[in-house]
Chain A
Amino acid sequence: MTAASYLIRGASLLGTAAGDLLVRGGIIAAAGENLGPDVVGDATVIDAAGLVALPGLVDLHTHLREPGREDSETVETGTRAAALGGFTAVHAMANSSPVADTAGVVEQVYTLGRESGWVDVRPVGAVTVGLAGKQLAELGAMADSRARVRVFSDDGICVSDPVMMRRALEYVKAFDGVIAQHAQEPRLTEGAQMNEGKVSAVLGLAGWPAVAEESIIARDVLLAQHVGSRLHVCHVSTAGSVEIIRWAKERGINVTAEVTPHHLLLTEELVRSWNPVYKVNPPLRADADVHALRAALADGTIDIVGTDHAPHPSEAKECEWAAAAMGMTGLETALSVVQETMVETGLMSWADVARVTSTAPAAIGQLADQGRPLEVGEPANLVLVDPAARWNVDPAAMATKGRNSPFAGMELPGRVVATFFHGHPTVLDGKLNTPFIHGGN
């Protein structure tokens, strides 16, 4: 079976000039204006007038839950959701059960991803055995495994012991890895339920103070500087964290930072509804934080958008606030929220969106064939988005198993029309098509 080819006709490349892209053999085989029949051949034509073409999105922060919590999500359902959201690669966080702290588990997740074929699944390795913070996991074995792990994180839990963090930062230099820190000082956040401030005071919910995030980031950038290593800060949520990261970058410290879509759009005021769909870690913050995060993403202080897609079964949210699980789904809404908060506000161009959702996360994760320019010879991992579309978020209609979308009922701009993964359309007409078969199609 010969690989199908596709002509993307008249897409706005990175939101600028309109052009054609010929996708054939897994790569962008030709590009230009009004490609002629001699070049196009029998390619299936996709009319992309009015659509924006971007490199396929890369998520550095996805919870796929498999192995162990298949009631919440599987690699199959999570990667379907990713493809629908315009992603061509996701990094699967290590807090599965068993924890992804050995070569065996990361290879299992990697293989499940290959078999599903919706996106590249790049496992994140745990920093410490069992995420327990006591003993370094076999980082080298995970790096050398078929999964070629480069991002290590105890996400969900902070590597709070300063010596452990120092050692981890030092050790991953041996294979150019990066430690992705979930910055949360544990003693300052015992029992924490929401942002500590005006709203927690009224609601009587235990506070998660901004300083618990900021103090860890401050410590970690100094550690990264001291040992000359690379630090990635997950889900930055406060204005103060932005200031610390800006300061660190000015000093030449090798730090990258991430913000989630929900922290770009939602505030702690939503907690007044007592609906646990708004319970997340780090918590939704105040309006001033939201605006600082947007500004930081626009000026490059924050490098990437990471979804922190965290599906939960409905019973984990159908309960009292304090008993509810933390986390929100995000893969299928991420690009729309970025458009809403960054593009429609005039803070970013589509080229900037491509940088923060694809190029930069691919660079942090060291994915050579992701986040590439839309040019001839490059791998055909790309997404077509209709920026003029608007849609109502309905969690029941999503591909993820999780129904815990905080955007439920909102109208958001932008719709993913097609996703190409290794030149194969995983999504067409806004619907799942077929997966890419490694070595096949």
Chain B
Amino acid sequence: MRHLLDTESLSRDNAIQILDTAQEMSAVGEREVKKLPALRGRTVVNLFFEDSTRTRISFEAAAKRLSADVINFSAKGSSVSKGESLKDTAQTLEAMSADAVVIRHWASGAPARLATSGWIDAAVINAGDGTHAHPTQALLDAFTMRAHWSQLAGTPSVGGDLAGMRVVIAGDVLHSRVARSNVWLLRTLGAHVTLVAPPTLLPVGVGHWPCEVSYDLDATLDAGVDAIMMLRVQAERMDASFFPSTREYARRWGFDDARLARLDELKLKDTIIMHPGPMNRGLEISSSAADSARSTVLPQVRNGVSVRMAALYLLLSGEMREQATPAPSNAKDNS
């Protein structure tokens, strides 16, 4: 496996290998000298076609802790605004002998395009593309869930998965690369996923996904849940009539104080509340929920660095196990 592009094609073996390696990496973060010489002399380029200081800093910290040289390349502008083309940028990076390209892009599929175009030889890590995928976010979420799940079970997390864990992902699924990556990865790791959203914010075709779908957050919570992940909802979606008002959204689909209290009533004392950030407090999540003891928002950020260290290390060291990647289906159909 040379690239990390999505989670749909990520095997269980590879996913667990990344999580286990991340576990080792997290120990580095707790040392006084937070640095390993593993990638000394290697060059990692953070290629960002879309602003995301949080993700860029996380990848930068990960690469630096592995002693890699880091180049931040901000290629703003779309084809519409006649920015630099992906191809030209890729060839520039190739000329700079980049070993890995961490790419964030506004267009779904741009990292896959970069990886398969022949424009560049580097390993490609998808740091979020359009509304398609955000695999390291899903891996850090899974890492966070696995730590919690194994602790509850009293088993070591290394080598473990999420078998039997009930995960609810609520919010703007339609526009969420986080949801798309989590659904596939969590399924691969054995969790049971339920998506909760207004019908307008679920993609047509979601019925084919390996998860349940509900429009009713309360009924879903009442059925029992071990982790709740709230997705960011942009208030501007209201202008395109995805929902009538932010008030109505928060009432029906937000994780508010009443729902936080409901978890206690349901005796769900170990249920965690997750959010990929940045949060819209008062919209998809209330402040008291975000700041409660159940919240894993800050551990998620911390784990992000470990997971990204693991991904960089495994891809660049060649220690990522080969997996049978499903070939892009050639749909020529003669039947």
Contact = CB atoms under 8 A, between A and B. Distances in A.
Q: Identify the interface centre among A209, A269, A273, A345: most chain B CB within 10 Å of its CB.
A: A273
Contact of B108 (A196, A203, A270, A290): A203
9 contacts: A199-B205, A202-B209, A204-B129, A204-B177, A205-B132, A266-B331, A322-B109, A323-B86, A345-B334
Q: Identify the interface centre among A204, A207, A269, A322: most chain B CB within 10 Å of its CB.
A: A204
A267 B331 CA distance: 6
Nearest to B80: A323
A287 interface: yes
Interface residues of B, number: 37
Interface in B303-335: 328-334
A227 interface: no
B333 A320 contact: no
A318 B91 CA distance: 13
Nearest to B115: A274
B208 interface: yes
Given A198-B208, A200-B205, A323-B78, 18 more contacts: A197-B205, A200-B204, A201-B209, A204-B132, A205-B132, A266-B332, A268-B331, A269-B330, A269-B331, A270-B331, A287-B333, A318-B85, A319-B79, A319-B113, A321-B113, A322-B107, A340-B334, A344-B334
A265 interface: yes
**Closest 4 CB pairs between A and B?**
A269-B331, A201-B205, A323-B79, A204-B132
Nearest to B202: A201
B113 A315 contact: no
B110 A201 contact: no
Contacts of B204: 196-197, 200-201, 207, 209
Interface string A165-198: 0000000000000000000000000000100111
A323 B107 contact: yes
Chain B at the A interface: mostly helix, strand, loop or mixed?
loop
Q: Identify the interface centre among B8, B78, B113, B329: most chain A CB within 10 Å of its CB.
A: B113
B146 interface: no
B131 interface: yes
A315 B132 CA distance: 23
A1 interface: no
B244 interface: no
Contacts of B107: 320-323
Contacts of A340: 334
Interface in B274-330: 328-330
A202 B203 CA distance: 9
A203 B109 contact: yes
Contacts of A204: 108, 129-133, 177, 180
Nearest to A325: B79
Interface in A377-400: none
A322 to B, nearest CB: 4
B116 interface: yes
A273 B130 CA distance: 16
Contacts of A163: none
Interface in B175-222: 177, 180, 203-206, 208-209
Interface string A268-295: 1110111000000000000100100000
Nearest to B111: A274
B104 interface: no
A201 B208 contact: yes
Interface string A236-258: 00000000000000000000000
B105 interface: yes
Contacts of A202: 8, 180, 205, 208-209
Contact of A196 (B132, B205, B329): B205
A404 to B, nearest CB: 15
A406 to B, nearest CB: 10
B209 A274 contact: no
A274 B203 contact: no
Contacts of B79: 319-320, 323
A198 B329 contact: no
B203 A319 contact: no
A267 to B, nearest CB: 4
Contact of A201 (B105, B130, B203): B203
Contacts of B34: none
Interface in B117-163: 117, 129-133
B184 to A, nearest CB: 9
B87 interface: yes
